[in-house]
């Protein structure tokens, strides 16, 4: 039995998927979600085999949902936007359905899904991050309690490395995310965010001043008083921008 989660912010679109799936005896719908938040929750709760995922949705789009998943169901995107097709395959989505949906095409995709189910799959989460549109406009984080935070990059103060994870400092709080700092640094707008140190990426707008504190070592002082170390190459990068 293939256990399916349907995600689409439009009711008629969900109804059509429901109808197509009802004709397939091997499928069972375990959840229907109207937005990305519900989708992340439903996947964590039901551990489905298949995620039928819309891309354009409020708050969290389809790609951001994938980034937040800690399990890796088979993903099939369902969207009216064919310009996302390439990216969909890059995040290892199994397939891609265009609206308006064709039942024949849907059945073909379900055959593929059944062949793929049970095989080991490449995890989708994580990979999605590196393939999001650049430069990154917002960062999605899932807290320990499962709550999802969406942080627009304009509200980002700085990011610090913590082992193989990062801590994102934004208006006084720090959010932890499982992702190497190099991955996020390469996605941020290079004109607004600078890697001032191996372990720090800072929002240029937050820097109050740079102080020399020992021979060859400097410190960046942010508007809120935070002091961050600046390496020699980090200082070079800063100088080029300022």
Partner 1 sequence: MATTRTALSRAALALYGMAAVTLAATASSAFFLWARHASPGMAVAAALPPSLVLGAIALASRFLCNALPLRSASRSSIAIGHAGSAAAASGLWVLTWKSWVPALNAQIATQHLDPDYSLLFALGVMLYVAAVAVHYLVLEIEALREAEDEVLRYRVLAREAELRAFKAQVDPHFLFNSLNAVASMCGSRPLEAREMAQRLADFFRLILRLGALERITLAEEIDLVQRYLAIEQVRFGDRLTTHIDVDEGAAACMVPPLLLQPLVENAVRHGVASMVEGGTIDIKATLEDHMLRIVVDNPADPDRTDARGEGIGIENARGRLSAVSEGRAMLQAAEAEGQFRVVIELPR
Stretch that binds partner 1, among 93-101, 114-122, 180-188, 200-208 (CB under 8 A): 93-101
Stretch that binds partner 1, among 33-41, 88-96, 177-185, 233-241 (CB under 8 A): 33-41
**Binding of partner 1 by 147 (CB under 8 A):** no
Q: Give the contacts of 126 (CB within 8 A, at least 6 positions apart).
A: 67, 178, 179
| Cβ contact 56:79 at 8 Å | yes
Nearer to partner 1, 148 or 204 (CB): 148
Nearer to partner 1, 35 or 178 (CB): 35
Q: What distance in Å separates the CA atoms of residue 150 and residue 160, rounded to the nearest whole number?
A: 18
Handedness of CA 54, 63, 26, 29 (dihedral sign): negative
Which of 26, 45, 56, 232 touches partner 1 by CB under 8 A? 56
Nearer to partner 1, 35 or 231 (CB): 35
Query: Would you give the DSSP letter of residue 160?
Result: E
Stretch that binds partner 1, among 29-37, 45-53, 174-182, 214-222 (CB under 8 A): 29-37
Structure tokens at 58: 């409020």
**Binding of partner 1 by 35 (CB under 8 A):** yes
Cα angle 118-123-128, degrees, rounded to a multiple of 5: 140
CB burial readout 67-95, b (16+ within 10 A) else e: bbbeebbbbbbbbeeeebeebbeebbbbb
Which of 98, 116, 185, 210 touches partner 1 by CB under 8 A? 98
Which of 116, 148, 150, 204 touches partner 1 by CB under 8 A? 150
Tally the residues of the chain.
242
Which of 45, 152, 223, 233 touches partner 1 by CB under 8 A? 152
Binding positions for partner 1, rule: CB under 8 A: 9-13, 15-16, 19, 34-35, 37, 56, 58-59, 61, 80-81, 98-101, 133, 137-138, 150, 152
């Amino acid at each position: 039995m293939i256990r399916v989660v349907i995600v689409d912010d439009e009711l008629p679109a969900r109804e059509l998927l429901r109808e197509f799936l009802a004709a397939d005896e091997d499928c069972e719908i375990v959840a229907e979600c109207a937005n990305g938040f519900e989708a992340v929750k439903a996947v964590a709760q039901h551990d489905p085999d298949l995620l039928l995922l819309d891309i354009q949705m409020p708050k969290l789009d389809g790609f951001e949902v994938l980034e937040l998943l800690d399990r890796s169901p088979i993903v099939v995107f369902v969207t009216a936007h064919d310009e996302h097709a390439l990216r969909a395959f890059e995040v290892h989505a199994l397939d891609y359905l265009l609206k308006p949906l064709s039942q024949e095409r849907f059945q073909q995709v379900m055959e593929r899904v059944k062949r793929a189910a049970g095989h080991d799959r490449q995890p989708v989460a994580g990979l999605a991050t590196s393939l999001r549109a650049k430069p990154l406009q917002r960062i999605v984080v899932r807290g320990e309690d499962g709550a999802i935070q969406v942080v627009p990059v304009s509200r980002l103060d700085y990011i610090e490395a913590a082992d193989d994870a990062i801590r994102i400092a934004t208006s006084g709080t720090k959010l932890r995310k499982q992702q190497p700092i190099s991955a996020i640094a390469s996605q941020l707008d290079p004109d607004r965010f600078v890697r001032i140190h191996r372990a720090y990426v800072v929002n240029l707008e937050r820097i109050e001043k740079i102080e020399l504190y020992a021979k060859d070592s400097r410190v960046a002082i942010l508007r809120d008083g935070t002091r961050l170390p600046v390496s020699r190459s980090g200082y070079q990068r800063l100088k080029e921008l300022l």
